[in-house]
Amino acid sequence: MLNRRQFLRSAGLAAAAQEPKRPNVVLVMADDLGYECLSANGSTSYRTPNLDRIAASGIRFTHAYAQPLCTPTRSQLMTGRYVFRNWKAFGVMDPKETTFGHHFRNAGYQTAITGKWQLYSYNPPDFEPEWRGKGMKPEQSGFHEYCLWHDAHTEDKGSRYGDPTVNRNGRLQKNLTGQYGDDIFCDFAMKFAERNRGKPFFLYYPMALTHGPFMPTPRSEYWSAGRRLKAGTENFKDMVEYMDEVVGRLYTHLDKLKLLANTLFLFYSDNGTDKQITSRMGDRIVKGGKGLTTDAGTHVPMIAAWKGVAPAGRVNGDLIDSVDFLPTIAQAAGFRLPSGQVFDGESFLPQLRGERGRPREWQFCHYDPRPGHDKEQYRLLRYARTERYKLYDDGRLYDIPADEKEEHPLAAGAGTPESDLARQKLAAVLARYGNLARPKPAPHHP
């Protein structure tokens, strides 16, 4: 016979055993890595066997897009909101914003971020001084733990690669001479997963790799020769392949911890490859387009793996945008986003389960790297696109597979019935967001 306390305890254990275990979510984002850099996507310039292996165990997406620069993408990714709703300045996130760190923490998850921050006080004192010392600090971002580079004033950022500058949970790390940034960030990620393997956790790893300056990795000849900070584009191949090695290291560790069956693992990139880099996909030559709204600046790799849930070896051509990640991972984790906030993304969780879902019919981009500035490299650009056609708000329409560099706009009314229909549909998207995304007046600098 059980006494009352024993009965209640056994009943509680039985009920807990019947509840589905909430999945872990691991989101890894490479920096300045275009679609053409993964061998799984057809690259012949670089070898990425670990990401190829992860793609073979899950789903490889062929139409994932990002903003052309890093911090606008990060803002959309972390908030699930288009940047015209919350974009203040380059490298500045509104400290009042709610990130996916907050959402997962509020849902009872253990949360951590490791890698690159760059969302606080980006500008030096002589450029846009009104944003000096402003933005979101890591401890405000909803994560229980962090291990980050570039969390302070931009001139204090130090190296992200060899001999790195790293802030771990509010303490500047010492004695890092001879160490490598992404090794430190990955080690932090693996230890976080190990400590929390009995609880649901959310891990966000925005990598330092493969952003310039193009530095040697621990696998480079320059590194072994003691020239850890010898920069040059000749290091980019090593950087891509070391990025792949680090991602593989994390994924393998999750496997050793027997967590893969209960972990949604996502890999993405914040924008296209640097303009200094030229890569090959067989006979095709691809020049990097970071900062450009062409595919060279916005088309990025994306892989999703979830053992026993995501069908292995699947290739998916649905449109995916950075605002789509938050609703997807929230739905995967079983919690609802607050009803009082506006979110712009579409969940692609059904696609991760091998279902058709409701693929988005268009992707919208509001690209405003320096709000209020009208110089060529900073001016506001807006477009909407399908997998094939892209329409800018000045009326330029491009057939992207036939004109990837966007050199030959299709004249209105002189295209095919298909292109004319695409123009009509995409014009409605631009009209929908046009009034919401009015340009801000340029700041006055005496």
Same domain, 260 and 167: yes
Is residue 233 within 8 Å of 38, Cβ to Cβ? Answer: no
CA-based nearest residue to 121, from 87, 150, 153: 153
Closest CA to 299 of 404, 392, 393: 404
Q: Please indicate, yes or no, whether residues 106 and 200 belong to a single structural domain of this protein.
A: yes
Residues 274 and 399 both lie in one domain: no
Query: Does 65 share its domain with 190?
Result: yes
Peptide bond into 386 cis (omega under 30): no
CATH number of the domain where residue 329 is located: 3.40.720.10
Give yes or no: residues 337 and 410 share one domain: no
Residues 392 and 306 in one domain: no
Could you read off the pLDDT tens digit of each residue along the chain, which spans 446 residues? 555 555 555 545 444 444 568 999 999 999 999 999 999 999 999 999 999 999 999 999 999 999 999 999 999 999 999 999 999 899 999 999 999 999 999 999 999 999 999 999 998 888 788 899 999 999 999 999 999 999 999 999 999 999 999 999 999 999 999 999 999 999 999 999 999 999 999 999 999 999 999 999 999 999 988 889 999 999 999 999 999 999 999 999 999 999 999 999 999 999 999 999 999 999 999 999 999 999 999 999 999 999 999 999 999 999 999 999 999 999 999 999 999 899 999 999 999 999 999 999 999 999 999 887 767 777 899 999 999 999 999 999 999 999 999 999 999 877 789 999 999 999 999 999 986 655 444 443 33
| 313: in domain | yes
Residues 265 and 322 in one domain: yes
Same domain, 346 and 418: no
Let me know: does 383 contact 293? Beta carbons within 8 Å: yes
Residue after which a domain boundary falls, among 338, 356, 374: 356
Query: For residue 121, is it within any domain?
Result: yes
Token pair recorded at residue 178: 């001879």
397-434 core/surface letters (b: 16 or more CB in 10 A; e: else): bbbbeeebebeebbeeeebeeebeebbeebbebbeebe
* Domain termination residue (choose one: 333, 356, 379): 356
Domain that holds residue 423: 366-434
- Same domain (yes/no): 400, 420: yes
| pLDDT for the residue 443 | 40
Q: Do 376 and 349 sit in the same domain of this protein?
A: no
Closest CA to 27 of 313, 311, 244, 304: 304
**Same domain assignment for residues 218 and 94:** yes
Is 5 a domain residue? Answer: no
Domains held by the chain: number: 2
11 within some domain: no
295 and 168 together in one domain = yes
Of 356, 387, 412, which one is at a domain's C-terminal end?
Answer: 356
pLDDT at 206: 98
